[in-house]
A and B are shown apart, each in its own frame.
Chain A
Amino acid sequence: MVRAVLVGCTALVLGVLLGRPALLLVGLPLLAWALTAVALRILQDREEGFPAPVLEPGLRTVEEGGTTALTLRTAPGALTAITVPMQPHTRFWPRYGSLAGDGTVRLRVTAERWGRVRVGPVHTLVTDPLGAFRAQAEVPAVTVRAVPSSSVLDAPVEVPTPIGVSGMHLSRRRGDGTALSEVREFRPGDRLHRINWRVTSRTGRLHTNATFTEQDTEVLIVTDTIADITPAPWAGDEAPSSLDMTVRATAAVARHYLTAGDRVTLFDLGHLIGPVPAGTGPRQLRVLTNALARAGREDGAMRLPRRLRSVRSGTLVVVCSPLLHKEAIAQIGVLISLGADVVVVDTLPPSIGDTAPLRGRPVRQEGISSDRFWPEAWAMRRLLRNSTVRELREAGVPVTTWEGPASLAPVLLSLSRARSAPRRRRS
């Protein structure tokens, strides 16, 4: 505005002083621009300024990879611009998070990774259509929660020892159920509709079908968030860290057993995810995934790990851990001694300790050799860890690496087979 007025008026003054009408024509278009802007401001009653922009977030909770919208509204006829700072693991449309529109602007935000996504602070600029008069404001940031996508495990749901009351797992206890255990003589108290008339007519004595009961069970998921191990630099930006793998495995296991009607509870050895009490059904899945989404990476300071001191014997415990911290391994031992059926999901990023890039000389990353030998150190640490994994397997604890939904299927299948295997008393 200042530019147009100064240049226009200068041309006008010179034209008047020098008596040259042609100079008036030089400044006339810019003055016309300025006059139109002022007239527009008066006509739209914006002499006191533009209305304050209103930011309306869309969905505050999305799934990992999901999209929500941020809508900024001012008034029709006002050129409205919104600019949002870029965030890691977040995609915007338009690509760099800055857009202008007529009165209303909608920005789309896609959360590429679970967790809390802080969008903002949002810088807004409202101007008239000619760009003459402007007002800027900063709107506080909006937090969007990306819950981990709970992938479907294509695996059986049988557990070794169901300990609940009523559910879908076949137990060894005889009672009211659907699976036939034996055909025996009728006893007082047996249900009449279970009488096996074929055997009765053959033997001449009342016989009844005895069945196994079906029970639900309690599944305890223990997460190890004591430390978040980032993947190796050569693994790429999209490679998950140990916390990512832990969260995704937890979400998948929780969904698997909640869908089967079991009770699922969560205990975190670190301090990132709050404890989640036992519950069932879709509501419990929402509670769990929301608790996982609330875990903040920035809370990753090392703190004293928590300890789980008691667990009901027969509980299926799924431990999601990178198996590096001795407290986590000690906790697995405690769970075994308490009589729980333990399965360990290894969430150490596969690129950590990978010996493939090692060539007997320092690994170069972006043309620079590190003099700290971190890849070699991690390779040796992984070799030490392998002995821990071997000891766990020898103790009867299945250990499987998390590589997506399919990776748990063999372990869960072996669990379902263990249901009918002879049981060994643990000392």
Chain B
Amino acid sequence: MALRTLIDPIAEPLLSLRQVSTTQWALRLTGLVGMVLALLATLPQGPFAGFPSVLLTLTLAVLTLLQMLRPDTGLGVAGPLLVVLVLAVQAELSLLRALTVGLALLLSHVGFSLAATLPAHGRFEPSARRLALRWLLPVLGVTVLGAAVVLTAAGTVLGAWMVVPGVLAVIALLVALLPRSR
């Protein structure tokens, strides 16, 4: 009886994992893989190279695990923000590495966004898979276009005055894109 009391609390969550559908496994693992790729690209010296790297790795691991359990959690914004902040303080950041991190964050975000549309036992029909993949193509197209513009303009040196309109433009973009309650 004592053994049963020990085993039951462990066995029940493991058995409930059987109810998680293949679709959800695929989407959540996509999110996980994206975050792992982003982490590896953010820390080129390795995820366990020093104390700050270990700290970042553990924090991202916890946040990603929480997001795998609850894809729609508000904590999902913390991981990518942390990655952006770490990249901002790095002395050297090549354009290629930055783009890699960006695409990895996109992969993670897409996986978790789609996973949040269904409960853990929900499945996607083939038509749903086709629909989601079809509309990722314009996203990649816009990314490529934007990257081309950034790469082209990267060599241009503008004065400090450009900061003000730049920030205003970002604020305007933020306001335009954030969802409003109707």
Q: Name the B residues within 8 Å of A14 (CB-CB).
A: 84-85, 88
Nearest chain A CB to B124's CB is how many angstroms away? 5
User: A99 and B139 in contact (CB under 8 A), knowing A7-B84, A28-B150?
Assistant: no
User: A105 and B125 in contact (CB under 8 A), knowing A49-B182, A81-B118?
Assistant: yes
Q: Is A125 an interface residue (CB 8 A)?
A: yes
A24 and B177 CA atoms in complex are apart in Å by: 17
A28 and B97 CA atoms in complex are apart in Å by: 13
A128 and B113 CA atoms in complex are apart in Å by: 11
A49 and B179 CA atoms in complex are apart in Å by: 12
A163 and B1 CA atoms in complex are apart in Å by: 66
Q: Is B123 an interface residue (CB 8 A)?
A: yes
A358 and B101 CA atoms in complex are apart in Å by: 68
CB-based contact B80/A7 at 8 Å: yes
User: A24 and B150 in contact (CB under 8 A), knowing A9-B174, A16-B163?
Assistant: yes
Q: Name the B residues within 8 Å of A239 (CB-CB).
A: none
Q: Is A53 an interface residue (CB 8 A)?
A: no
Tell me which of A30-38, A192-200, A341-349, A380-388 binds B.
A30-38
A9 and B176 CA atoms in complex are apart in Å by: 11
CB-based contact A101/B93 at 8 Å: no
CB-based contact B128/A101 at 8 Å: yes
Nearest chain A CB to B13's CB is how many angstroms away? 17
1/0 contact trace for A7-41 toward B, CB 8 Å? 10111111011101111111111111111101010
Q: Name the B residues within 8 Å of A21 (CB-CB).
A: 95, 150, 153-154
CB-based contact A131/B177 at 8 Å: no
Q: Name the A residues within 8 Å of B76 (CB-CB).
A: 3
Of the candidates B106, B113, B154, B176, the one whose C-beta lies within 8 Å of that of A132 is B113
CB-based contact B84/A23 at 8 Å: yes
A10 and B167 CA atoms in complex are apart in Å by: 10
A4 and B113 CA atoms in complex are apart in Å by: 10
Q: Is B143 an interface residue (CB 8 A)?
A: yes
CB-based contact B135/A130 at 8 Å: yes
- In chain A, what residue has the closest Cβ to B24? A98
- In chain B, what residue has the closest Cβ to A3? B77
Within 8 A of B (CB), among A64-120: 77, 79, 81, 83, 94-103, 105
CB-based contact A11/B174 at 8 Å: no
Q: Is B10 an interface residue (CB 8 A)?
A: no
Of the candidates A10, A23, A29, A48, the one whose C-beta lies within 8 Å of that of B93 is A23
CB-based contact A38/B167 at 8 Å: no
A77 and B130 CA atoms in complex are apart in Å by: 10
Q: Name the B residues within 8 Å of A13 (CB-CB).
A: 167, 170
- In chain B, what residue has the closest Cβ to A83? B119
User: A25 and B122 in contact (CB under 8 A), knowing A10-B81, A129-B132?
Assistant: no
1/0 contact trace for A37-66 toward B, CB 8 Å? 010100000001100000000000000000
A393 and B125 CA atoms in complex are apart in Å by: 60
Q: Is B61 an interface residue (CB 8 A)?
A: no
CB-based contact B117/A100 at 8 Å: yes
Within 8 A of A (CB), among B119-159: 119, 121-125, 127-128, 130-132, 134-136, 138-140, 142-143, 146-147, 150, 153-154
- In chain B, what residue has the closest Cβ to A368? B1
Q: Name the B residues within 8 Å of A94 (CB-CB).
A: 21, 122-123
Within 8 A of A (CB), among B70-109: 76-77, 80-81, 83-85, 87-88, 93-95, 97-99, 101-103, 105-106, 109
Q: Is A134 an interface residue (CB 8 A)?
A: yes
Q: Is B43 an interface residue (CB 8 A)?
A: no
Q: Name the B residues within 8 Å of A125 (CB-CB).
A: 117-118
Q: Is B114 an interface residue (CB 8 A)?
A: yes
Within 8 A of A (CB), among B45-88: 76-77, 80-81, 83-85, 87-88
- In chain B, what residue has the closest Cβ to A21? B154
User: A131 and B101 in contact (CB under 8 A), knowing A1-B179, A3-B109, A22-B94?
Assistant: no
Q: Name the B residues within 8 Å of A3 (CB-CB).
A: 76-77, 80, 109
A77 and B140 CA atoms in complex are apart in Å by: 19
Q: Is B116 an interface residue (CB 8 A)?
A: yes
Listed from nearest, the 8 A-B pairs whose CB atoms lie closest are A98-B122, A96-B121, A29-B106, A16-B166, A131-B113, A32-B142, A22-B98, A102-B127
Q: List 20 A-B contacts (CB under 8 A).
A: A6-B77, A7-B105, A10-B81, A12-B170, A13-B167, A26-B99, A28-B102, A29-B103, A29-B139, A33-B109, A36-B142, A83-B119, A98-B122, A99-B125, A100-B125, A130-B139, A131-B110, A131-B114, A131-B117, A367-B4
Interface residues of B (CB under 8 A from A): 1, 4, 19, 21, 76-77, 80-81, 83-85, 87-88, 93-95, 97-99, 101-103, 105-106, 109-110, 113-114, 116-119, 121-125, 127-128, 130-132, 134-136, 138-140, 142-143, 146-147, 150, 153-154, 162-163, 166-167, 170, 173-174, 176-179, 182
**What 7 additional pairs, Cβ within 8 angstroms, besides A23-B88, A26-B101?**
A14-B85, A20-B88, A21-B153, A36-B142, A77-B131, A81-B118, A83-B118
